[in-house]
Amino acid sequence: MKKILLSLTLIAFFGLVMTSCGGDKKAKTTETKTTEVKKEEAPKADAKPAAIDVSKMTANLENGKKIYSKACIACHFTGVSGAPALKADKYKKEDWQKRADKGMATLLEHSITGFNNNLMPPKGTCMDCTNQDLFDAISYMYNEAKVTFK
């Protein structure tokens, strides 16, 4: 009787092992399929990334001041190469306003990629800046320029 019970337990045990192996295989097959699908979609991922949703971003003006003082100040204080300037005798509200009218999403995108033959260089030369850092720096400059976005 004990032997029968033992063999039944063994059968049940191996049965379980087999089933789980089978399950694993199935899982792997699904994984491979997902990878294949991703590969097919790869060219799309290389296309222009979707515009950043700036409406979900909140500006940290203190961080913006740090980034501005480290990178953007070099051109945006005195207005090098036609950059909108903050320095009192170079500051023109309309220089800031006409750019603000493009919308924050565009300004952020131009800050990331560079703008006008890179007169405005990619990331404003702050290569370790995140999108949030650049957003903060733009917000800080606009706050100083006393121009708001629509």
Nearest to 121 by CA among 109, 111, 136, 133: 111
User: 51: helix, coil or strand?
Assistant: coil
Residue number with CB closer to ligand HEC (21 or 80): 80
Which pair of structure tokens corresponds to residue 89?
Answer: 């005798």
The full DSSP string for 76-105 is: HTTTGGG----STTT--HHHHHHHHTT-HH
Closest approach of ligand HEC to the CB of residue 91, in Å = 14
Provide the residue type at 39 as one letter: K
Whether the CB-CB separation of 84 and 77 falls below 8 Å is answered with no
Note whether 102 binds ligand HEC by CB under 6 A.
yes
Stretch that binds ligand HEC, among 2-10, 29-37, 52-60, 102-110 (CB under 6 A): 102-110
Residues 113-132 vs ligand HEC: string with x where CB under 6 A?
Answer: --xx--xxx--xxx--x---
Binding mask 63-82 for ligand HEC (x = CB under 6 A): ----x---xx-xxx---xxx
Residues of this chain that interact with ligand HEC (CB under 6 A) are: 67, 71-72, 74-76, 80-83, 99, 102, 106-107, 110-111, 115-116, 119-121, 124-126, 129, 134, 137-138
